[in-house]
Each structure stands twice: as C-alpha cells, then as structure tokens.
Amino acid sequence: MSRDYGKYEPVIGLEVHAQMKTKSKAFCSCSTDFNSPPNTNVCPICIGHPGTLPVLNKSLVDFILKLGIALNCNIERRSIFARKNYFYPDLPKGYQISQYDTPICSDGYLEIKYRRIGIQRIHMEEDAGKSLHDLSDDSSLVDLNRSGIPLIEIVSQPDLRSAEEAYDYLSKLKQMLVYLDICDGNMEEGSLRCDVNVSVRLKGDSEYGTKCEVKNLNSFKNTADALDYEICRQIDILEKGDKVIHQTLTYDAIQKITYPMRSKEEAHDYRYFPEPDLVSVYVDENWISEIKGSMPELPDVRRARFINDYGLPEYDAEVLTAEKSVADFFESVVSRVKNPKSASNWVMGDVMRVLNDKKISIGEFWISSGNLAALINLIEEGKISNNIGRTVYEEMLKVKQKNDERQNPEYIIKEKNLILVSDENELERVVKKVLADNPTEAERYRNGEKKLLGFFIGKVMRETGGKADPKKLNEILSKNLN
Amino acid sequence: MKFSYRELRKKLDSGETSCREVVSSYLNKINERKHLNVFLSVFNEEALKKADEIDYKIKSGYAGRLAGMVISIKDVLSLKGKKMTCASKMLENFEAVYTATAVQRLIDEDVIIIGKTNCDEFAMGSSNENSAFGAVLNPADESRVAGGSSGGSAAAVAAEMCMISLGTDTGGSIRQPAAFCGVIGLKPTYGRVSRYGLTAFASSFDTIGPLGKDIYDIALVLEIMSGYDPRDSTSVSDVTDFKAEDIENIDLNNLRIGVVKEYLGEGLQPEIRDKIKEVIERLRDSGLIIKEVSLPYLKYSIQTYYILTTAEASSNLARYDGARYGYRSPDSGDVETMYINSRSEGFGEEVKRRIMLGTYVLSAGYYDAYYRKAQKVRRLIKNDFIKAFEEVDLLLTPSTPTTAFRIGEKTTDPLEMYLNDIFTTSANLAGNPAISIPVGWDKEKLPIGIQLTARDFDEKTALAAADYILRSEFT
C-alpha cells in the first residue's frame, strides 16, 4: 500500500507533543479546563510573577509512566528538569520547563501494522500561552490559560519509511494515548501536535541524507500530506544532482506545500540548563508496579482476546478495539448475549452507522448496552425476525434516555404488537387463505415452479404485518403446498 | 533600644511599654536619618495600626511568639498589596499579589513590618550602590557604603530603625553588609527557609536570613521562618529540627574550630587579620580546640560563583520583558523593540552585565567550558567543606577582606567589587549555614565582622559559638 518512491527511500522521525488531561497544570494548581474564558485559569506561578516557584504535579509523572510502560520504554530512575530559554510574549517566565539530558522514558517501541517503530525518548514539559494576532489591528493578545498545561513529547527513532507509515504510527500512538486515558487525542483543540524530520537516500544506503524539519503539523492528514510533498521535493532535488539544504520548514495545508520558516524563527540557542527550582524525580519499583496495576488492557492485547475469547474474525476485533470506549461498549453488550458475532455485527453495523451519521462518539450514543443486548437476544431466540429487529431498533433510537422504559425492546414489541406469530393454527389459517386467494400461483408451484415459495412468504408476511415466525411459516407452507 | 526581643517582650507583657511606643520610636529614627536612604517604603500608619492590634492581643493573652517584634524586609521579598521594586526601575511600580512564605510565617506570629529596605538591584552587588534608588549610607560612617546587597537591612538594624531585618544572601549579601554595619547576619542552610516569594537572582544559591543585634532574636526568627513549604520543592522536610532554645544547651567545651589556611593570606586588611588572631587566641584560652584546615578549591570560589549565578540570573530575569508587568519602554514598536528597549532602559548596568555574562556561559559551544565545569568545581568545593567538617565543627574566617569602603571607591572596577565576596561565596556554593558577627572596630572606627561556617543544618552550633564570642570581652 506504500507509495513507491522508485530507487529512493525516505527516512522519517516524528516528534509528537501530547497534552495531558491532568486536572491541574504541570507546576501549579490551576485548572486545565479548555473552555474557560481567557486568562482565568492563571495564578502568580503560571504567569511568572517574581518569587514564584514551580512544584511538580505528581499526576503528570503517573501519566507519562503509563505511556512509557505501554511503549516498552526504559524508565529513568532519576530524571531532572531543564530550562529551555527563549523570549516570546506568551512565555511568561522567559523559559519553558522541560527535560533535556535525562528524559524520564527512553528506548521503547510502538508496533504498527508490519513493523516495530523505535521510541527514542518521552519527556515532560509545560506548554506556553496562546498568542492571538488577529483580534486587533495594532496589537497582539495573549491568553495564559494554556501556560503551564502539561505536555509530553514523544520522539520516535528515524524508523518510518513512508508518509503512510507515519500516518499509521500517529494513529496508533493516538489510540494508545486515548486508551491510557491520559490525552483526549483531539488535534483540533491542539491536544496533539506534530513535528517531522525527513530525509531521503538511495535504497540500500546506510548513511542518512540531509534532513529537513517540518514544524507544527496539526492533523494526521496534514502530516502525511506534508511528508509526501517534502519527500518528493527532496527526491527532485537529488534527481537534479543538487544537494538538500538542512532547513526548518512549515506546511501550508491549503496549497499543500512546505516552505522555509524565516531564519530568525529557527535560529534559537535555547541555553538549556538544569532547572534549579525543582528537585530530581525519583521513580522506584513500587511506583512502577503501582502504575502497572492501574493500567487498562492495551489495544493489541484486547484485540487478541476478542479473537480468542469471542471467536471474532480479525477484522471485527480490529474495528471494535480501535477505540477503547467502543470496545468497552461492545464488551458490555457481548456479556449479555449468547452469540458474540451478532453483538459484533450490531455494534459495527447499526451502532456505528448512527455514530457516523450523527458525528458523535460512543459516549454520546444513547441506547444502553443492556437494551441493545436485549434486542439481539429477542432476535436470536426467534421472538422477532431480523426485519422487525431493525424496526424495533429505529424505535429505540427515538428514545433519547437510556433509563427510559420506552427504550426497552420488550416494551416496544408489546406496545406495537410486533411479537412473532408462531401459533400454528393461526399461521395455518393465514396460509390457507393466501393459497385460496392465489389458486393460479399455487398450481404453478405444484407443477414445479419452486421459486414461487418467496411469493407466498411475502403474501403471508403482508397478512401478518411481517410478524410470522419464518421457521414455522416455512414448515406450514411446505405442508400445504406439497 | 539596646535590648533583645526577650527583654522587650517582658516589658510588653508587663505593660511597661507598648507596641505603639516601640513602633513610634522606630519611626522617629527612620525619619531622623532619612538621608541614609535605608528604606524604599515605610508603612507608617499601617505599622501603628498593627501595633494597636497586637497591644490588644498581648493584653488579651493570645499574642504570637514574635508579638511586637518590629521588622523590616528587603525589597526583593513579596508582601501582598505592597510595592516590590527589587531596587530596580524595572519593577518601580510593581505591586506584589501574594506574600512570601517566610514573611507570612513571621506575620502569623505577630511581627510588625515597618517597611521594605533598599538593596542592590535584584540583590546583585556588594555595596548597595547598584540600587536604582541610590546607595544606602553606612550609619557608622556616612561617607562609606553599607555593603550589599542587603545594605538597607544591615543599616536599618545598625541605626535602630527596627529590631530585625530580613535580608537575602546569594553570595554574602547578608553577611557582608552585616560586617560593614556592625550587626549580626545569618545565612541559613540552603533549603532551611522557603524561597517562595523571594525574587530569584540565582535559585540554587538564594537564601533568606535575619539580620539583628541579638543572637537569640536571630535564632527565634530562624526557627519560625524555617521548615518545609509545599510551595518550594527545594525546601527540606526532614531536618527541620531547629529550635532557638537549643543554642543555650550546647556544650562548647571541646568544640573544634577550624581556621582556614587559605583565608589569612594576602589582600586581608591587617586589622581584620589581627582581630581574627585575637579571637582565636581567646577561644584557645577558653578551652576550645583550634585547628588549621585546608580547603584547596576555595580559591576558585569567586570564578565558580560568578559563572553559575550569572547563568541562573540570565534565565531568572528573562521574565522582565515588558510584556505582562513592570517597565515597558515608551518606544516599543514591535515585540523585539519592546524587549530590547524595555530591558535596556529598565535594568541597571550591573544587572545587564550579569545577564550578558550568564547568557554567554550557557550558550552553545561555551556551556561545557564554563557552566558544566563550574558545576564540577562547585561539587569539589562542597567536598572540601565535607572533608573539613570531619575534622572540625566550625570554620572561623573573616567576613570581608576590608572594612566598609568609601562610596564610589570601587564602582569603576567590577572585578575589584566582586573580590569583596571572597570569603562569603563559598558557603552559598556549598549550601552551608554561615553567620557574620561584629567583633570590634578598625582604627577608623569601622566595624569588623568575622564569619562562622557550620555543617549543613547545624545553625545551632554556629549560633551558640557566635553567642559565646559576643558575650566575651572582645568588643
């Protein structure tokens, strides 16, 4: 599926910034709520008043340890923070607290479809504020609600070999972050941001080519598109016999091209040095086992379990475990039904259709797993047909409260009188009536035109309002026709 | 008012005097000698009002442990609702929105804060001549500097404008002015007192400590200020056992005093050397053990100190950029112009010099040669102290190479000025507690100070020995 780059091979590494969904900021107790009015989630610490000091939020360490463990990283037993110094109006202290020499997690990997992608390091840092340049003609405004929001930076090894692989890596990483419940994964709100490093070389070369960096990509698709463009640009340069110049680039998502940042923007000497206001973070075995104990089942493990325990096809397991909340919903349904595959079909089909149509998440889906399971069981037990099941489902969708009894399929069936007619005498009566009304067709059937069976089933269904028990109907029809 | 807080408290409790009388008397002193330029703000009415409140508390019998103690605080310490200028044009109109932990702990025990004292800009300096609001004059000789950077605090105590003043000490900024003005100044162990609310100069060196005239006052204030603060990760939780009364129970017999060989050589004013020798002889006569010790890496203290503190300062002072608070140049066209002009106009020469030095030593290509190397030397200096304290309990050294110099005498040569810190920076590099006490005068009647340095968190031994020396007949 990977695009063919001819005799060239791209080498790609990604740096992903993920916003952690801790309740309070990284180094003060201000709220991290995204929806607050500008400059309301602030205190003397996160706006850099003189004399204030940072104090590390322990949840941030808990969160990063979860990811570090999930990505098979080495956990640094003693790591320190560093100051990254630069001037910007939305950076209140004139430096960002980050980690430099001793990232808390290093040397891990993430499995994507066909390969294992190395994770070089994961470290903690704080976000800057947000500059707003377009609200006023002659001045810029700064919102410091974001100042001090905890971020982690995940740096991959240069192991990716195509834009598609980069896309897969990002999707997988996001899945992991969301599974671990440490990041909401929402790129539009900036909770995931990505920088890429990319170079190209001839296939088989062991040396890397000259790399370029594309900064501040705000969606997976833009990342893949930017990479595609940049790889082709670099190949074109090499094809002409020229040399790629090391540059920092930015991506224009409308024109779909990369272009160099002003050299001023990239010429930073951050003057990193150890943050003297914070003490070292010591992580011991107890802390690590505590975190391990609190971790949810990871997607790969869960997918395998769905295949083994529920006998689901690999495709179903993949789709159902893509999002933790969907997998949770599925498990809540499947635990109440006899046939896991029907549960899978319903969740992957009818439920996901609604999610896609309404553009909502499973968390916002209003049919309870209990009611859906009850519906599946009614069909499985033959109390209603598949078709009536669909009708009942449509009725259930009209009731927006999970605990409303009118959402219960039994209630709907009773209320709308949809229970299957399986009374043999009643079916016998209807069949006889249909045969009497259609003597010509009955004759043709008896003369060998067997495909007319469907015609009679249709007639009976119409007479019974679709409620004839299909199994019983088959028997009785055959008996009366033969 | 030459009595200690304990004596004052007796008089307050018995009704012989009142907080209002005490505050009024200090306010008079402040007014009489305004020209010394000791205070950057004085809280006249507020201090009197507070005095009445505490007089009432004393009468009612539920006054705090420091009720009626009148203190001043250096203007780099945060006090809610009050200006905090850091003696800089940059923060000339800045008002603090919260109170420093150490200050709050004293307020909770009913001190009365009479004002905020002058100092070198952002605590950078050794003569108080770097204040944007003018130098402090030495009360002992008004043609001379009060020392720095806590010059206002030392002068305030010396001129009896308050009982205790809180200073800060990054490389000698409490001890050197204490020596120049003839008062006691204690730099606690790093981590003993929370730094929350202390405007950072060099975060891994900065300490808050008291200046006063009575050892027990100093000890009491230290006891109340010290201890773990959840707002300062570098404050210590497990060594907070300091109690002022402990210093009265220390047996000084067999106490081993180390005399640092490297510190009695050239460049030391002869009268100071003589005074040190005199103190040593008397201590020996009193049965204390005097030992000569060597700390070979001390000779790199000044260089190491200036590399590391300027590095930290260059980062700590980055927040004063004109964007959110503090001085913004009227000529601020775009962002970069705002930064350059605000910082060029808002900071004084010495502060700018140190920011540039610090930026340089942290720069790519120079970090290893300067910052990293200095960190290693810092460790070696610490090791020197650890080794020395295996042999002795205290180190006795001069506080300063000379007594107070004349105003303007050293302003043209920053290196000459830096050398003033030669005996004091090592305690900040190593983190150890150190105290400067007055032990007499030179022939020009200028105070001489000596310094006692102790093991980490062993302020009590230093204070007890200092008390012993002060009670003897040296002065």
**What would the pLDDT profile of A144-169 be if each residue is shown by its tens digit?**
999 999 999 999 999 999 999 999 99
The shortest C-alpha distance from B319 to chain A (Å) reads 4
- Statement: residue B1 has pLDDT above 70: no
Q: Residue A83 and residue B315: Cβ atoms within 8 Å?
A: yes
pLDDT of residue B475: 46
Interface of B with A (CB under 8 A): 76-78, 84, 86, 91, 94, 96-98, 100, 195-200, 202-204, 230-234, 311-312, 314-315, 317-319, 321, 323-325, 335, 339, 359, 362-364, 367, 371
Tokens found for residue A192: 């995931």
Q: Which member of B77, B315, B325 has the closest CB to residue A94?
A: B315
pLDDT of residue A2: 52
Place of tokens 């991290």: A32
Per-residue pLDDT tens over the stretch A452-475? 888 888 888 888 877 777 778 888
Main-chain dihedrals φ then ψ at residue B256, nearest 5 degrees: -100, 120
Choose, out of B234, B237, B321, B368, the residue to mutate when testing the contact with A (most A CBs < 10 Å): B321
Per-chain mean pLDDT for chain A: 91
Could you give the CA distance from residue A272 to residue B363 in angstroms, rounded to a whole number?
A: 9
* Residue, of A463 and B175, whose pLDDT is higher: B175
Closest chain A CA to residue B198: A51
Per-residue pLDDT tens over the stretch A26-54? 999 999 998 899 999 999 999 999 999 99
Chain A CB contacts of B323 under 8 Å are 89, 142
Per-chain mean pLDDT for chain B: 95
- Statement: residue A227 has pLDDT above 60: yes
- Statement: residue A265 has pLDDT above 70: no
Chain B CB contacts of A94 under 8 Å are 315, 317-319, 321
Amino acid found at A152? I
Q: Residue B97 and residue A52: Cβ atoms within 8 Å?
A: no
Q: Does A39 touch chain B (CB under 8 A)?
A: no
Q: Which contacts (CB < 8 Å, 24+ apart) does range B107-110 have?
A: B108/B64, B109/B64, B109/B65, B109/B66, B109/B67, B109/B224, B110/B54, B110/B57, B110/B63, B110/B64, B110/B65, B110/B66, B110/B67, B110/B68, B110/B69
Per-residue pLDDT tens over the stretch B130-147? 999 999 999 999 999 999
Task: Evaluate the omega torsion of the peptide bond into residue B149 and state whether it is cis, within 30 degrees of 0.
Answer: yes
User: How sure is the predictor about B86, in pLDDT bands with cuts at 50, 70 and 90?
Assistant: very high
The shortest C-alpha distance from B135 to chain A (Å) reads 23
Q: How far apart are the first and last CA of chain B?
A: 19
**For the stretch B183-199, what's the b/e string if a residue is b when 16 or more beta carbons lie within 10 angstroms of its beta carbon?**
bbbbbbbbbbbbbbbbb
Closest chain B CA to residue A273: B362
The shortest C-alpha distance from B114 to chain A (Å) reads 21
Cβ of A305: how many Cβ atoms within 10 Å?
16
Cβ of B389: how many Cβ atoms within 10 Å?
20
Q: Which member of B231, B234, B371 has the closest CB to residue A273?
A: B371
Could you give the CA distance from residue A51 to residue B91 in angstroms, rounded to a whole number?
A: 13
Q: Where in chain A is the domain with CATH 1.10.10.410?
A: 424-481
pLDDT of residue B240: 59
**Residue A456 contacts residue A481 (beta carbons within 8 Å):** yes
- Statement: residue B443 has pLDDT above 70: yes
Q: Residue A85 and residue B233: Cβ atoms within 8 Å?
A: no
The shortest C-alpha distance from A67 to chain B (Å) reads 25
Q: Residue A51 and residue B198: Cβ atoms within 8 Å?
A: yes
Q: Which of A215-224, B102-111, B436-445 has the lowest mean pLDDT?
A: A215-224
Q: Does A48 touch chain B (CB under 8 A)?
A: yes
Cβ of A297: how many Cβ atoms within 10 Å?
13
pLDDT of residue A266: 55
- Statement: residue A441 has pLDDT above 90: no
As to burial, measured by CB atoms within 10 angstroms (0-12 exposed, 13-18 middle, 19+ buried), residue B60 is exposed
Element (H, E) at A170: helix A163-179
Q: Which member of B233, B323, B325 has the closest CB to residue A56?
A: B233
pLDDT of residue A225: 94
Q: Which of A443-452, B45-54, B274-283 has the lowest mean pLDDT?
A: A443-452
Could you give the CA distance from residue A48 to residue A28 in angstroms, rounded to a whole number?
A: 11
The shortest C-alpha distance from B270 to chain A (Å) reads 39
* Residue, of B353 and A114, whose pLDDT is higher: B353
Q: Which member of B233, B363, B371 has the closest CB to residue A55?
A: B233
Q: CATH for B5-248?
A: 3.90.1300.10
Chain B CB contacts of A47 under 8 Å are 324
Choose, out of A24, A46, A52, A97, the residue to mutate when testing the contact with B (most B CBs < 10 Å): A52
* Residue, of B404 and B265, whose pLDDT is higher: B404
User: How sure is the predictor about A1, in pLDDT bands with cuts at 50, 70 and 90?
Assistant: very low
pTM of the shown model: 0.90
The shortest C-alpha distance from A180 to chain B (Å) reads 29
How many CA atoms lie less than 13 Å away from A479 in the CB half-sphere? 12
Per-residue pLDDT tens over the stretch A173-199? 999 999 999 998 887 777 889 999 999
Please provide the size of chain A in residues. 482
- Statement: residue A68 has pLDDT above 90: yes
Chain B CB contacts of A266 under 8 Å are none
Could you give the CA distance from residue A199 to residue A234 in angstroms, rounded to a whole number?
A: 7
Antiparallel, parallel or unpaired: β A248-252 and B434-441: unpaired
Where are chain B's structural domains? 5-248
* Residue, of A414 and B399, whose pLDDT is higher: B399
* CA-closest candidate to residue B221, choices B118, B359, B110, B364: B110
Chain B CB contacts of A93 under 8 Å are 318-319
- Statement: residue B317 has pLDDT above 90: yes
**For the stretch A181-212, what's the b/e string if a residue is b when 16 or more beta carbons lie within 10 angstroms of its beta carbon?**
ebbbbebeeebbbbbbbbbbbeeeeeeebebb
Taking residues A412-432, report their average pLDDT. 79
Element (H, E) at A469: none
Q: Residue B231 and residue A55: Cβ atoms within 8 Å?
A: yes
Q: Cβ contacts of residue A458 below 8 Å, gap of 6+?
A: none
**Residue A232 contacts residue A41 (beta carbons within 8 Å):** no
Taking residues B47-62, report their average pLDDT. 97
Chain A CB contacts of B230 under 8 Å are 55
> Which residue numbers of B are catalytic?
74, 149, 173
Q: How far apart are the first and last CA of chain A?
A: 56
**Residue B402 contacts residue A308 (beta carbons within 8 Å):** no
The shortest C-alpha distance from A48 to chain B (Å) reads 7
Q: Is B94 left (phi over 0), alpha (psi -120 to 50) or beta?
A: beta
Q: Residue B314 and residue A278: Cβ atoms within 8 Å?
A: no
Instruction: Using alpha carbons, list the distances in angstroms from residue A397 to A61, A391, A394, A400, B216.
Output: 42, 10, 5, 7, 79
Q: Does A448 touch chain B (CB under 8 A)?
A: no
Q: Residue B197 and residue A269: Cβ atoms within 8 Å?
A: no
Tokens found for residue A289: 């086992």
Taking residues B60-86, report their average pLDDT. 97
Could you give the CA distance from residue B51 to residue B452 in angstroms, rounded to a whole number?
A: 35
User: How sure is the predictor about A480, in pLDDT bands with cuts at 50, 70 and 90?
Assistant: confident
Antiparallel, parallel or unpaired: β B70-74 and B112-117: parallel
Q: Which member of B76, B78, B319 has the closest CB to residue A94?
A: B319
Tokens found for residue A170: 């990002």
Chain B CB contacts of A272 under 8 Å are 362
* CA-closest candidate to residue A45, choices A55, A34, A31: A55
**Into which CATH architecture does domain A424-481 fall?**
Orthogonal Bundle (1.10)
Could you give the CA distance from residue A125 to residue A103 in angstroms, rounded to a whole number?
A: 10
Q: Residue A269 and residue B364: Cβ atoms within 8 Å?
A: yes
Tokens found for residue A362: 């499973």
